[in-house]
Amino acid sequence: MTKFRNLIIIFTSLFICLGIVSSTANALNSTKNPKPPCRIQIAHAHISKSVFLRYGVRAVKVNASSICNVPQSRVTLTVEIFKHGLFGPQLVGRSVTKVPGITYPGRRVDNFDTWRRCKTFEETRFFGKAFAKAFILGKWQFASDTYSIEIEPLKCGT
Amino acid sequence: MTYEGEIQLTPDEIIRESKILFTFQNLLITEKSRYESQANKLLEEISLHTKTTEYDLSYRINSDTYECRITNLDKSGNSYAIEIPIPNSQAEKLETLVELFAQSEAGFIN
């Protein structure tokens, strides 16, 4: 009977300890990495192969999307393309997509319309930057600048 | 913040992307003279307004960029803006404006 009682005490203590550890870990996670309501995804600068193969048109492109887990309205997603020049990064082009009305949670807002024509085959290093703003819970919220990872230079002089 | 991810265009979006770039290329050729006269007008007057069947196009010259604001005539549809840096030479300025006119009239994927 005593052995049985001891066993119950050990198990109870173990569950309490696990509970504390788990809730502490959750608390730490939520304070260290509070999940942002919105996130931006940006792809690397590329030359659209399908367009080039089909029509012979060459353009450098950066695609980006924004997604929120809360309702938002008047979403604006801006995408910029930069190239590395002699004096640092140079803007190549910027485009903004404005979505009117309400965008529901989980619905993606895309900006797939940021591109510049390649005039030459000069090797150039490009990267993209995206940022967004939206009206969420009664105030303007801004999603910080998100940069694409740079890959190999593209044969695209703008 | 860097967030790199695969963004896959749907087959429909890929087709629209192709059409837009193809239209852009064609407009550069077929509408060249109209665009050149628009470019000269814009350089003179700093702002210019045109219209397509779907959009109101409002061009203006900023301190370092040429800008086009594209307002959807359908109030529930997306609107857009395109900005291109102003180049140095006069010939390049004209060429860049022609490109901006064609790009803004070629259409949009989303």
Give bridge partners of residue B82 from the DSSP assignment. A95, B68
Q: Is B27 part of a structural domain of the chain?
A: no
Alpha carbon of A65 to those of A14, A132, A145, B37, B62: distances in Å?
Answer: 45, 10, 13, 36, 27
Q: Which of B4, B14, B76 sits opposite A42 (nearest CB)?
A: B4
Instruction: Determine the structural domain holding residue B101 and report its residue range.
Output: 32-106
Task: Note whether B109 contacts A: Cβ–Cβ < 8 A.
Answer: yes
Here the CATH number for the domain that contains residue B44 is 3.30.160
Cβ-based contacts of B103 with chain A (< 8 Å):
115
Cβ distance B80 to A92 less than 8 Å, yes or no, reads: no
User: Would residue B83 count as lying in a domain?
Assistant: yes
Which one of B24, B80, B84 has the shortest CB-CB distance to A98? B80
Condensed to tens digits (0 to 9), the pLDDT of residues A44-103 reads: 999 977 677 777 788 999 999 999 999 999 999 999 999 998 889 999 999 999 999 999
ipTM: 0.92
pLDDT at residue A25, rounded to an integer: 43
Mind listing the pLDDT tens digit of every residue in chain B (110 residues)? 445 456 888 989 988 998 999 999 999 999 999 999 999 999 999 999 999 999 999 999 999 999 999 999 999 999 999 999 999 998 899 999 999 999 999 999 97
Model-wide pTM > 0.95? no
Chain B from 27 to 86: CB within 8 A of any A CB: 65, 72, 75-85
* Residue B8 counted as domain residue: no
Structural domains in chain B (count): 1
Q: How high is the pLDDT of residue A56? A: 76
Q: Do B25 and A57 touch (CB under 8 A)?
A: yes
Q: What share of chain B is helix, strand, coil (3-state, %, to 5)?
A: 45, 25, 25
Q: Considering Cα of A84, then B90, then B101, then B11, what sign does the dihedral take? A: negative
Question: For chains A and B, what is the number of CB pairs under 8 angstroms?
Answer: 107
Other CB atoms closer than 10 Å to residue A91's CB: what's the count?
15
